[in-house]
Amino acid sequence: MTDAPDADQLARSMLSLLGHDDDEHPAADGRAAGTWSKAPDFASDPARAAAVKEASARDRERYLTAGLVPVDCRFCHVTVAVKKLGPQHTAVQWSSEATARCATFAEVRASGGDSSRARSCPRLTDSIRHAVAEGCLEEQSTAPSPGDG
């Protein structure tokens, strides 16, 4: 069994291969050569660090939940988060509980299959169509994209 390569060493070797080295981009905070991060940590400015942390949390929440609407399966009554991105594209976020309780996925598992390999649950697809028809879910989400704002 082999150990996974060190990520910093791998990144440095890739930069070296492309003609870059640590001397071209010295660390702004005076850290030793060979250590780097994508963004400053603002350790010397606690107020700014707190503001960045709060903004990052808001961005993360928006990215993960923007436009998602809870939809209940009319067959097995699991609830999933759904966002219609267009007529033929639907984003569905399954929770562990919903995946475990889904009747279609249970049938797949009972027959020896892997439910994570199933394209979708046709019963949930019908429930999503019903939610759109009832006006509970937009045909195409008007929520802003995660990167727009």
Per-residue pLDDT of the chain (149 residues; tens, 9 = 90+): 556 667 777 777 777 777 665 554 555 555 555 556 677 778 889 999 899 889 888 888 887 788 899 999 999 999 999 999 888 889 999 999 999 999 999 999 999 998 888 888 999 999 999 999 999 999 988 887 766 55
21 inside domain: no
pLDDT given for residue 32 in this prediction: 53
pLDDT given for residue 2 in this prediction: 56
CA dist., res. 36 & res. 1, Å (int): 29
Instruction: Give the CA angle between residues 135, 137, 105 to the nearest 5°.
Output: 125
Report the length, in residues, of the chain.
149
147 inside domain: no
CA dist., res. 118 & res. 109, Å (int): 10
41 inside domain: no
The number of distinct structural domains making up the chain is 1
CA dist., res. 102 & res. 78, Å (int): 7
CA atoms within 13 A on the CB side of 97: 6
- Beta-carbon contacts of 79 under 8 Å, excluding residues fewer than 6 positions away, are 70, 71, 72, 73, 95, 98
- Structure tokens that stand for 86 in this block: 């267009």
Domain that holds residue 103: 67-134
- Structure tokens that stand for 30 in this block: 């005076």
146 inside domain: no
52 inside domain: no
Mean pLDDT of the chain: 82
pLDDT given for residue 146 in this prediction: 64
pTM value? 0.60
CA dist., res. 83 & res. 90, Å (int): 6
39 inside domain: no
pLDDT given for residue 149 in this prediction: 52
pLDDT given for residue 42 in this prediction: 84
93 inside domain: yes
pLDDT given for residue 88 in this prediction: 86
14 inside domain: no
